């Protein structure tokens, strides 16, 4: 095993986290230790440089560097410690802006560059994928999209995220909630509906997710009820667009025989 494989398997992937929506992220303070920075102040400067690079590349900084505050007990007082939940792309930019003299930094640059590239496909490359490969690709995009949408919705005042997401589903699926969709598909309790969609249905949901996020930002939507109404209307507008184009309504699209989780399990055997 070479050094890069060792870092990939035993270090960078080991500190990867998955949130409740299935989105991956790395905690900045954990990455700091791997990149052999001893002081947060110094590493924070690296993060700021990476943020500037992100913005200069016309990417939304909040999508890749969401700020979090952790509670730290100090005797009888409570303090808050700054941290970031870094996307894979953010980790790549952090590595690019870290001290190049460190061997682990060079390895991190290579690792995150390779892994980030694997998540990005050209239109030609996408057309050559099998249906299951397209499903995995679209599912990954919807996970990242939902994470970004949740951050924006939170800033709008959304607290009940189940209600917020169901608003979008109801608009796109002619009144169906996530539970209704799951029942229609014959899924088990709490089984992920997005894991049980074909690529066309996933693409429709990705369109709903990305356009809702843009609308919330563009209109400076404020308040949970307004955010829910925005999500519902966007879902409904996309449904109307599909109808006008002579497309198949999302609820009429076939459910694949195997979920993506089933396919993943079979590949591991």
pTM for the predicted model, two decimal places: 0.59
Looking at residue 194, what DSSP letter applies?
A: G
> Which helix (H) or strand (E) element contains residue 226?
helix 224-244
pLDDT digits (tens, 9 = 90+) for 179-230: 999 999 999 988 999 999 999 999 999 999 989 998 998 899 999 999 999 9
pLDDT digits (tens, 9 = 90+) for 78-120: 678 899 999 988 998 998 899 878 878 877 877 777 666 666 6
In this structure, are residues 226 and 105 in contact, taking their beta carbons and an 8 Å threshold? no
Q: What is the mean pLDDT of residues 156-176?
A: 97
């Amino acid at each position: 095993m070479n050094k890069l494989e060792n870092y990939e398997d035993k270090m960078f992937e080991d500190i990867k986290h998955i949130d409740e929506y299935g989105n991956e992220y790395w905690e900045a303070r954990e990455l700091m230790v791997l990149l052999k920075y001893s002081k947060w102040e110094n590493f924070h400067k690296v993060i700021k440089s990476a943020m500037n690079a992100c913005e200069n590349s016309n990417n939304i900084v909040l999508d890749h560097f969401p700020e979090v505050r952790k509670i730290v007990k100090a005797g009888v007082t409570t303090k808050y410690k700054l941290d970031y939940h870094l996307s894979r792309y953010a980790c790549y930019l952090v590595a690019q802006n870290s001290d190049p003299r460190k061997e682990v930094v060079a390895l991190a640059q290579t690792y995150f560059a390779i892994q980030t590239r694997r998540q990005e496909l050209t239109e030609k490359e996408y057309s050559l994928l099998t249906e299951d490969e397209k499903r995995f690709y679209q599912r990954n995009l919807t996970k990242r999209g939902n994470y970004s949408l949740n951050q924006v919705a939170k800033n709008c005042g959304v607290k009940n995220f189940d209600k917020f997401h169901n608003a979008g589903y109801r608009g796109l699926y002619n009144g169906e909630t996530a539970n209704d969709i799951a029942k229609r598909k014959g899924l088990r309790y709490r089984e992920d509906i997005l894991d049980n969609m074909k690529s066309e249905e996933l693409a429709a949901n990705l369109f709903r997710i990305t356009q809702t996020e843009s609308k919330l930002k563009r209109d400076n939507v404020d308040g949970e009820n307004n955010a829910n109404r925005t999500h519902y209307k966007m879902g409904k507008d996309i449904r109307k667009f599909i109808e006008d184009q002579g497309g198949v309504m999302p609820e009429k699209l076939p459910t694949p025989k195997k979920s993506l989780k089933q396919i993943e399990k079979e590949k591991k055997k």
